[in-house]
Homo-oligomer: A and B are copies of this chain.
Amino acid sequence: MNESVGIVKTRSVDFDVELQLESGRVLGPLTLAYETYGTLNRSKSNAVLVAHAWTGDAHAAGRHGPDDRKPGWWDGMIGPGKVLDTDQYFVICSNVIGSCFGSTGPSSINPRTGKPYHLQFPVLMVRDMVRAQKLLIDHLGIEQLLTVIGGSMGAMQALEWAVHYPEHVRSIIPIAGTGRPSPMAIALNALARQAIYNDPMWRKGNYKPEHPPADGLALARAVGHISFLSDTSMQLKFGRRFSARDGQFDFFGQYEIERYLTYNGRNFVERFDTNSFLYLAKSLDLYDVSWGFDSLESALNNLACPSIWFAFSSDWLYAPYQTEEVVNVLRCLNKPVEYHLIESDYGHDSFLVEPEKFTPKVTSFLEKLSAES
């Protein structure tokens, strides 16, 4: 289980298209950044698409160089002998459009003006991200994906694949997902947005990359962090410990949890673009699998493949009842569906923190699927 895919490279492909978006606008030309691990088999039947979450990227496994400090974000899942076994599967991960890690996003050059899009970039739905991914899958010559797997926003992408490209997926594995975020989730994103809008450095999106609205983005990230954790995980990790460096009665004295949020917020500014953060937050809020359909039922009736769903007991961002809403409709529609509520204290982040709690079920799901081919 400790084997790595080794040194990998993010590749990039340009599509000279005008992608028709849900908003009615078009986006193009498009660049997509992606990585692949393992080998596509002769029948092209072993391709697995890994879909990343809000602040993720195409670098899901391996290292970019021998001195690379950290491996890809889901390295524990992807590699020889791992759950997504690269001796067996051809694993693809691409950066979503709207993001800032090589795929077209608000900091890309708008071909119509020769300048960065900034707020001229169109508001995207998750469906649009998947539409762009379909271009990549076609480009790689893959007719049908063995599965699409992802957590959080990745789960949304998996579901969109199954609804809109039913002939092109043999299964989906949505983890810590939702059919549509709750008003609570929207409210938290609203705080994050406002934190950025309040920062004079944001300049309505026209900041220079070297002068980002650091205070605003760090605070926005702290909002996110809280929603990814849980009351219990904070109790376990921080409790009510006061920072050893501060006096309890100092006005600016901090509890450990506070210091952690500040520290991580600051680090985030180094690696993420503010406008991308805002655009993707918007895509999350707008996500609704039934968008454009008469009902949740009619959207989910499009599914032609088996799906396996995981929700986490302490996830209060996309709480289990939201996955269950989708799963129950799928069951009513007699779709082949498996659902597991995983007991975990780590909130929404459980899918990253405690993968061992659900991966055995992923393994057997994939084995059964492979046996059927």
The interface of chain A, by Cβ under 8 A from chain B, is: 22-25, 119, 122-123, 180-184, 186-188, 190-191, 193-195, 198-200, 215-216, 218-219, 222-223, 226, 229-231, 234-235, 238-240, 248-251, 253-258, 261-262, 278, 282, 285-286, 288, 316, 319
Contacts and interface: CB of A to CB of B under 8 A. Distances in A.
B251 A282 contact: yes
A262 B198 CA distance: 12
A249 B123 contact: yes
B191 A122 contact: no
A191 B222 contact: yes
Nearest to A200: B200
Nearest to A25: B249
Contacts of A288: 240
Contacts of A186: 240, 255, 257-258
Contacts of A319: 231
A227 to B, nearest CB: 10
Given A195-B195, A255-B183, A257-B190, A249 B122 contact: yes
A166 to B, nearest CB: 26
A183 B238 contact: yes
Which of A187, A234, A319 is most buried by chain B, counting CB atoms within 10 A of its CB?
Answer: A187
* Closest 9 pairs (CB-CB, A-B): A23-B249, A183-B234, A190-B258, A198-B215, A183-B257, A123-B249, A184-B231, A183-B238, A187-B257
B239 A183 contact: yes
B222 A182 contact: no
B180 A240 contact: yes
Q: How many copies does the complex hold?
A: 2
A234 B254 CA distance: 31
5 contacts: A24-B249, A182-B235, A186-B258, A194-B219, A240-B288
A195 B249 CA distance: 21
Interface-central residue, A195, A286, A316, by most chain B CB under 10 Å: A195
Nearest to A24: B249
A20 to B, nearest CB: 13
Contacts of A286: 248
Contacts of A219: 191, 194-195, 198
A354 to B, nearest CB: 19
A316 B316 CA distance: 10
B285 A255 contact: yes
Contacts of A258: 186-187, 190, 193
Contacts of A256: 183
Contacts of A194: 218-219, 222, 262
Contacts of A198: 195, 198-199, 215-216, 219
